[in-house]
């Protein structure tokens, strides 16, 4: 079952990478069309391309996270600190993508119709909430790590001693 799970997550990661590359390709095509077609302004095309690239980076990061955590990751030897760092890195990329997308949409909307700034403002506010949630998670998980740190350290030392004994027995 573990092999099937790794195959599924590996295939999903590959598909997400291909889709992210497709988004980058679409952004390049839109830029080319904007600079060759005088009907569309290049500023709008650049903002659209920027939005596509931001989403592509977020999708690529999700693919990387899935691959590292589910395909190549060793789930048996994970500590709470490793899990926190991994999730923090992943969410940080998503928060940055949300902020950048919010800014792109703010600029596009402000150029078209200022009265429509509600959605972009909501997107930036949601980004702030996700960032605050990440900070709360970091704080709470750090407190828990301090409380159970001795247990994790003891388990890690025991596991290392078992591996050393096993390696000594094999020689």
Q: What is the torsion angle, in degrees rounded to the nearest 10, for the CA atoms of residue 75, residue 95, residue 105 and residue 36?
A: -60
Q: Read off the pLDDT of residues 41-95 as tens digits, 9 standing for 90 and up.
A: 777 788 888 889 988 998 998 898 888 888 887 655 566 677 777 788 888 888 8
- Please write the tens of the pLDDT for every residue from 82-135: 777 778 888 888 888 888 888 888 888 888 788 888 888 888 899 999 999 999
For residues 90 and 164, give the distance between their C-alpha atoms in angstroms, rounded to a whole number: 33
Statement: the pTM of the whole predicted model exceeds 0.85:
no
């Amino acid at each position: 079952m573990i092999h099937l799970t790794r195959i599924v997550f590996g295939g999903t990661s590959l598909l997400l990478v291909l889709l992210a590359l497709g988004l980058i390709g679409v952004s390049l095509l839109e830029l080319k069309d904007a600079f060759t077609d005088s009907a569309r302004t290049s500023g709008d095309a650049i903002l659209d391309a920027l939005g596509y690239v931001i989403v592509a980076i977020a999708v690529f990061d999700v693919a990387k996270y899935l691959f590292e955590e589910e395909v190549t990751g060793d789930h048996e030897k994970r500590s709470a600190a490793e899990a926190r760092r991994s999730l923090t890195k992943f969410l940080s990329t998503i928060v940055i993508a949300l902020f950048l997308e919010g800014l792109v949409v703010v600029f596009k909307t402000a150029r078209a119709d200022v009265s429509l700034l509600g959605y972009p403002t909501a997107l930036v506010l949601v980004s702030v909430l996700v960032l605050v949630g990440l900070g709360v998670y970091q704080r709470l998980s750090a407190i828990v790590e301090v409380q159970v740190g001795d247990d994790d350290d003891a388990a890690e030392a025991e596991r290392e001693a078992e591996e050393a004994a096993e390696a000594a027995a094999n020689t």
